[in-house]
């Protein structure tokens, strides 16, 4: 009985089951392909060390060759929104900003946004602030006078 061939067949099936079970695809298909080639080498009587080397070379080679292309489809680029254009802009505080009480609003380009302080300090109504980032629907701001 050709035990190495049976083991490579079992590994190939296991890698394919893992591939089918993973929500993020193309995780172990490279190793399944390496197992298939190692199985073929085993069926033709190749030494165990050669089977292992073939498995590693084929798996690593396929991974290195195809991963850059696959990554483009698995992780599509994030599309910037119009809200991203507000980062770095100035806004006027129209309601006192207090992170502890979870309150505060700022107005920019005629629209009111919920606002929170960048460093956690309170910011009084009427203060001119700079927008550092947007988290969900909240502007993260700091007083513009601190920059001078």
Helix (H, G, I), strand (E, B) or coil at 128: strand
Q: 58-81 burial by CB neighbour count: b if 16+ within 10 A, else e?
A: bbeebbeeeeeeeeeeeeeeeeee
From the list 100, 101, 105, the residue with the least C-alpha distance to 141 is 105
pLDDT at 137: 87
Structure tokens at 139: 């502007």
pLDDT in tens, the chain (148 residues): 889 999 999 999 999 999 888 877 778 899 999 999 999 999 999 999 999 999 999 999 999 998 888 777 776 666 666 777 888 999 999 999 999 999 999 999 899 999 999 998 999 999 999 999 998 889 999 998 754 4
Spell out the alpha helix ranges (H) of the chain.
3-21, 29-43, 48-74
| CA distance to 26, 28, 41, 66, 135, per residue, from 20 (Å) | 9, 9, 25, 19, 35
Angstrom distance (rounded) from CA 69 to CA 43: 32
The answer to whether residues 143 and 129 touch, using CB atoms and an 8 Å cutoff, is: yes
Cβ-Cβ contacts under 8 Å for 113 (sequence gap 6 or more): 91, 105, 106, 107, 137, 138, 139
Give pLDDT, residue 94: 96
pTM of this structure? 0.51
pLDDT at 148: 40
């Amino acid at each position: 009985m050709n035990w190495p061939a049976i083991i490579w067949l079992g590994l190939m099936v296991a890698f394919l089951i893992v591939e089918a079970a993973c929500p993020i695809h193309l995780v172990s298909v490279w190793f399944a392909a390496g197992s298939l080639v190692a199985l073929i080498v085993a069926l033709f009587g190749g030494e165990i060390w050669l089977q292992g080397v073939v498995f590693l070379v084929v798996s690593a080679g396929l991974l290195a060759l195809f991963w850059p292309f696959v990554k483009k489809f698995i992780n599509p680029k994030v599309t910037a929104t119009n809200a991203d254009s507000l980062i770095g802009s100035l806004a006027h505080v129209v309601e006192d900003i207090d992170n502890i009480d979870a309150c505060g609003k700022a107005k920019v380009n005629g629209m009111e946004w919920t606002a929170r302080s960048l460093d956690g300090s309170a910011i009084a109504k009427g203060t001119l602030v700079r927008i550092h980032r947007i988290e969900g629907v909240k502007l993260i701001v700091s007083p513009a006078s601190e920059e001078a």
